[in-house]
């Protein structure tokens, strides 16, 4: 099976490549890339006017299977992923039961194979039951297919236990991902502390709850000389700590999500539960700091923190509403707004969505070099669309961007040289 992508603008930051060319995929691998390729028996995908790049990799999604299949299944989440240009996703372990043993890891991989759309990489829990008490069996989990460990959804409250995790992870070369939140400051909070908590009369979550936790993780990374990846950074204070840590040469990497550089806490005004997310949407000053951190490399990755919830969890009192929003299908368009306003270049955007995530979790992909995985995203940066419930493939529609007109649409998502999603007939 050969696929020839004709005439697209091929952008591959992993080899600093950016020019109009043809790309040949063969046997699940990138076979060739040249200005004009004529291949007899290849299926042709016309890509004139489109961007062709290594498939996006989302380091942070919540597919609710097992346990909360009414919100999302691995199959529905995979469809949302490829519709958004993500050819691989990294699944957080806070399912029910949580992914704290090899049986759950294998179940996730089996469901992902049945869905057969994007690659699904499970993250295992750091602690059993995410209770923050005892470490899980990193060795067996890795063998079963876990690519990293995290208690995401919750922090590891005990610094000593986090230290142990960072040390023990070295035996298995397992990256550790931190959901950085100082619970004693944040618990009971529903929105950013500041404008939103004052206006809405809700208990707030101060930015310092994130910054203190990030600082702890940075110190533990230094203590153990281990890498750590900080999930969903939302604050200026957090960015500054990460920037200093990187200047010191510590092995700290970080991600943020499109809602943190697109929205501020004002999106919650009026008690809009679709804008209730943890960490919460912050101030304009924080939003700007996140945008700058993406531009200057302090934040390495854009991940979605795709967190589906049904109306049962969202059409209710704000305090009762669950945290989280769906993001897989709006991430590309929202990130393109950064390109449009000149904060980042198009190659930088692809670096943030594809190359860097692959590098940080040591995943295959993130490159169109000859011999690389034939995971490719093709998008039209100019196509306009309106976010509606019907447009979203995710089972859940809890997006704060419903009704927004956005630019940028995925045309083809290709995994292992197979077109798994297409908005054009071919």
Binding residues for another protein, per CB under 8 A? 188, 194-195, 197-202, 270-271, 315-320
Find the helix or strand (DSSP H, E) in which 22 lies. strand 17-26
Instruction: Specify the residue, 172 or 271, whose C-beta has the smaller distance to another protein.
Output: 271
Select from Zn ion, another protein, none the partner in contact with residue 179, using the beta carbon and a kind-dependent cut-off of 5 to 8 Å: Zn ion
* Residue 156 partner contact from Zn ion, another protein, none using kind-dependent CB cut-offs of 5 to 8 Å: none
Question: Which CB sits closer to another protein, 22 or 193?
Answer: 193
CA distance 330 to 83: 10
Cβ-in-10-Å burial (0-12, 13-18, 19+) of 14 comes to buried
Report in angstroms how near the CB of residue 384 gets to another protein at its nearest: 29
Minimum Å distance from CB 403 to another protein? 15
Q: How many CA atoms lie within 13 A of 52 on its CB side?
A: 28
Query: For residues 34 and 235, what is the distance between their CA atoms, to the nearest angstrom?
Result: 43
Q: Which does 270 bind (CB under 5 to 8 A by kind): another protein, Zn ion, none?
A: another protein
Q: Match 């991430």 to its residue by tokens.
A: 331
Binding site for Zn ion (CB under 5 A): 152, 179
Catalytic residue status for 12: no
Inter-helix orientation angle 102-115/74-83, to 10°: 50
Catalytic residue among 173, 305, 375, 380: 305
Closer Cβ to Zn ion, 55 or 280, answer by number:
280
Give the SS3 label for residue 319. Answer: coil
Kindly tell me which of 283 and 413 has the beta carbon lying closer to another protein. Answer: 283
Give the nearer residue to another protein in terms of CB position, either 123 or 277: 277
* Least gap, CB of 186 to another protein (angstroms): 12
How does DSSP classify residue 362? T
| 3 state DSSP class of 194 | coil
- The listed partner (another protein, Zn ion, none) that binds 194, CB under 5 to 8 Å by sort, is another protein
Neighbouring residues of 40: CB distance < 8 A, sequence distance ≥ 6: none
Least distance from C-beta 181 to another protein, angstroms? 17
| CB-based contact 281:290 (threshold 8 Å) | no
1 binds, among another protein, Zn ion, none (CB under 5 to 8 A by kind): none
Residue 41 interacts, among another protein, Zn ion, none and using kind-specific CB cut-offs from 5 to 8 Å, with: none
Q: Please state the φ and ψ torsions of residue 89, each to the nearest 5 degrees.
A: -135, 150
Task: Tell me how far, at minimum, the Cβ of 287 lies from another protein, in Å.
Answer: 17
Q: Which is nearer to another protein, 103 or 285 (CB)?
A: 285
Neighbouring C-beta atoms of residue 371, cutoff 10 Å: 9
Comparing every residue's Cβ against Zn ion, the nearest one is: 179
**Which two structure tokens, joined as six digits, stand for 368?**
């169109």
Instruction: Give the shortest CB-275-to-another protein separation in angstroms.
Output: 12
Longest C-alpha distance within the chain, in Å?
67
Angle at 417 between CA 108 and CA 375, to 5 degrees: 65
Q: Which is nearer to another protein, 199 or 337 (CB)?
A: 199
CA–CA distance, 426 with 27 (Å, rounded to integer): 20
Map tokens 């890509």 to a residue: 47
User: Can you list the positions of beta strands (E) in 219-290?
Assistant: 228-230, 252-256
CB of 229 to Zn ion, least distance (A): 12
Task: Choose among Zn ion, another protein, none what residue 67 binds, the Cβ cut-off being 5 to 8 Å by kind.
Answer: none
Residues identified as active-site: 305
């Amino acid at each position: 099976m050969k696929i020839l992508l004709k005439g697209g603008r091929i952008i591959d930051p992993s080899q600093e490549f950016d020019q109009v060319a043809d790309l040949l995929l063969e046997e699940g691998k990138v076979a060739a890339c040249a200005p004009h390729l004529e291949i007899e028996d290849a299926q042709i995908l016309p890509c004139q006017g489109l961007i062709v790049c290594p498939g996006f990799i989302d380091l942070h999604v919540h597919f609710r299977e097992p346990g909360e299949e009414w919100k999302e299944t691995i199959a529905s989440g995979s469809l949302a992923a490829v519709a958004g240009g993500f050819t691989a996703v990294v699944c957080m372990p806070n399912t029910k039961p949580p992914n704290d043993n090899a049986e759950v890891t294998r179940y996730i991989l089996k469901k992902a194979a049945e869905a057969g759309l994007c690659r699904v990489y499970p993250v295992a829990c750091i602690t059993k039951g995410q209770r923050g008490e005892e470490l899980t069996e990193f060795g067996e989990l890795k063998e079963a297919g876990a690519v990293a460990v995290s208690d995401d959804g919750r922090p590891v409250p005990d610094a000593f236990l986090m230290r142990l995790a960072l040390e023990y992870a070295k035996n298995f070369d397992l990256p550790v991902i931190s959901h950085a939140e100082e619970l004693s400051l944040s618990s009971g909070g529903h929105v950013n502390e500041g404008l939103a908590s004052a206006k809405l009369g809700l208990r707030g979550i101060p930015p310092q709850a994130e910054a203190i936790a990030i600082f702890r993780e940075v110190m533990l990374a230094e203590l153990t000389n281990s890498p750590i990846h900080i999930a969903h950074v939302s604050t200026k204070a957090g960015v500054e700590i990460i920037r200093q840590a990187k200047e010191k040469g510590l092995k700290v990497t970080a991600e943020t999500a499109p809602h943190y550089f697109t929205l501020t806490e004002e999106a919650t005004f009026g008690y809009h539960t679709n804008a209730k997310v943890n960490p919460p949407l912050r101030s304009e000053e924080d939003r700007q700091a996140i945008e700058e951190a993406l531009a200057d490399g302090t934040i390495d990755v854009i991940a979605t923190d795709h967190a589906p919830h049904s109306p049962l969890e969202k059409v209710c009192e704000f305090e009762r509403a669950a945290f989280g929003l769906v993001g897989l299908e709006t991430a590309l368009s929202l990130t393109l707004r950064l390109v449009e306003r000149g904060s980042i270049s198009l190659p930088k955007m692809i670096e943030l969505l594809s190359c860097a995530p692959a590098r940080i979790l040591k995943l295959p992909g993130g490159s169109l070099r000859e011999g690389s995985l034939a995971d490719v995203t093709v998008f039209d940066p100019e196509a306009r669309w309106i976010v509606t419930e019907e447009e979203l493939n995710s089972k859940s529609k809890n997006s704060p961007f419903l009704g927004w007109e956005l630019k940028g649409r995925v045309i083809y998502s290709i995994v292992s040289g197979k077109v798994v999603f297409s908005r054009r007939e071919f």
